[in-house]
Structure 1
Amino acid sequence: MKIVLDRPRCEGHGLCEEAAPQLMHLDDQGELVLDIETVGDDLEPAKAAVRVCPVAALRLV
Structure 2
Amino acid sequence: MRLEVDLDLCQGHAVCQDEAPALFDVPRNGQVRILRTDPADELEAARAAVKYCPTQALSLVDDDADE
**Shared fold, TM over 0.5:** yes
Q: Which has the higher helix share?
A: 2
The one-letter code matched in structure 2 to 1:23 is: L
* Count of residue correspondences: 61
Could you tell me how far apart the structure 2 residues matched to 1:48 and 1:30 are? 21
Whichever of the two has the greater Rg, that structure is 2
Aligned to 1:36: 36
Aligned-residue identity in percent: 38
Point out 4+ residue stretches in structure 1 off by more than 4 angstroms. Answer: none
Q: Which runs of 5+ in 1 are unaligned?
A: none
Query: TM-score, length-normalised on structure 2?
Result: 0.83
Q: Could you list the per-position Cα deviations for residues 31-60 of structure 1 after superposition, in whole angstroms to 9, with x for gaps in the alignment?
A: 211000111144101000001101100000
TM-score, reference length from structure 1: 0.90
SS in 2 for 1:3: strand
The equivalent residue for 2:64 is: none
2:28 and 2:42 map into 1 onto residues whose CA distance is: 28
